[in-house]
Structure 1
Amino acid sequence: MTKVFFSLLIMTTFAFTTPEDSKVATYNYGHNGMELVARSQKGMVIISTFNSKMTIRQDIASKVYDLYVANKLTTNTKITVNGCEANVTGKCVIRKKNNLTAVDFYYETVDWNNGLKEIYKKVK
């Protein structure tokens, strides 16, 4: 009887615990600004990030530029950018005027390699 009780206790413990790898947090702050300015034969491209995390903003901006150069970006679409420290999902907006192209990337979720998931929530 005690074996059944202890096995039932152990199974319920595992059933109702959340794994350490699936932590979710929200943040309402971030860095906004131009991260990358590139000049090509077609003109100038400016990559800006909004609501970004300070430690990965340069890496993600360069990956967004690589996606733009490879023609894998369209305006007003949600994309996932795979960085070295985290994967970032967000909205991409492309604006063009003459020889100037502005690519704005708005962070929505950051999936860190350590298992933490951060979701941006705007403060009202």
Structure 2
Amino acid sequence: MKKVIFSLLLCSSFAFSNEEPKIKTYNYGQNGMELVSRSKKGTVIISTFNAKMTIRQDIAAKVYDLFLANKLENNKKVTVKGLEANVTGKCVIKKKKDLTAVEFYYETVDWNNGIKEVYKKVN
């Protein structure tokens, strides 16, 4: 009898272990310049919008790395892999003479703990 109960308990734990991530929405976020880089080629400004406060600087640094590696395209979705979460968002690149502004708009945040947050604008 103990073996049967243990087997049922074990099977049920495996059955529920691969659940889909919990999806939450948020309508607030941090907006602003996160990183300014100056070089002989010009100035690059990384700004984030609708950002989660705890990961905004990490994600901005990763966006800058992607920009330097020419892996960003204007008005395209990109997924940035951070230390605490992976963030999917839209990247807008604006150039004016020697100034480049890279704007990253958060759309979804996939936290490492399994929670998924989706930005939803309030009208």
> TM-score, with normalisation over the residues of structure 1?
0.84
Q: C-alpha root-mean-square deviation of aligned residues, in Å? A: 2.1
Q: Moved runs in structure 1, 4+ residues, more than 2 A? A: 17-21
- Could you say which residue in structure 2 is the equivalent of 1:52? 51
Determine if contact 1:32/1:50 at 8 Å carries over to the other structure: yes
Provide the TM-score with structure 2 as the length reference. Answer: 0.85
Corresponding residue of 2:3: none
- How far the C-alpha of 1:18 sits from its partner, in A, is 9.0
Q: How does 1:1-124 map to 2 (within 5 A)?
A: 22-124=21-123
Structure 2 distance, partners of 1:42, 1:114, is 40
Shift of residue 111 of structure 1? 0.1
The AA in structure 2 aligned to 1:112 is W
Q: What secondary structure does 2:49 align onto?
A: strand
Which amino acid counterpart does residue 102 of structure 1 have in structure 2? Answer: A
Task: Indicate the SS of the match to 1:24.
Answer: strand
Gaps spanning 5+ residues in structure 2: where?
1-8
Distance in 2 (CA, whole Å) between partners of 1:85 and 1:20 is: 20
Unmatched runs of 5 consecutive residues or more in structure 1: 1-9
Partner residue, 1:5: none
One-letter amino acid matched to 1:92: C
DSSP 3-state at the match of 2:61: helix
Query: For 1:13-44, what per-residue CA distance to the aligned partner results, in whole angstroms no more than 9, with x for missing partners?
Result: 88xx7966621100000000000000122100
Q: Is the 8 A contact 1:21 1:114 kept in 2?
A: no
CA–CA separation in structure 1 for the residues paired with 2:69 and 2:21: 33
3-state SS of 1:49 partner: strand
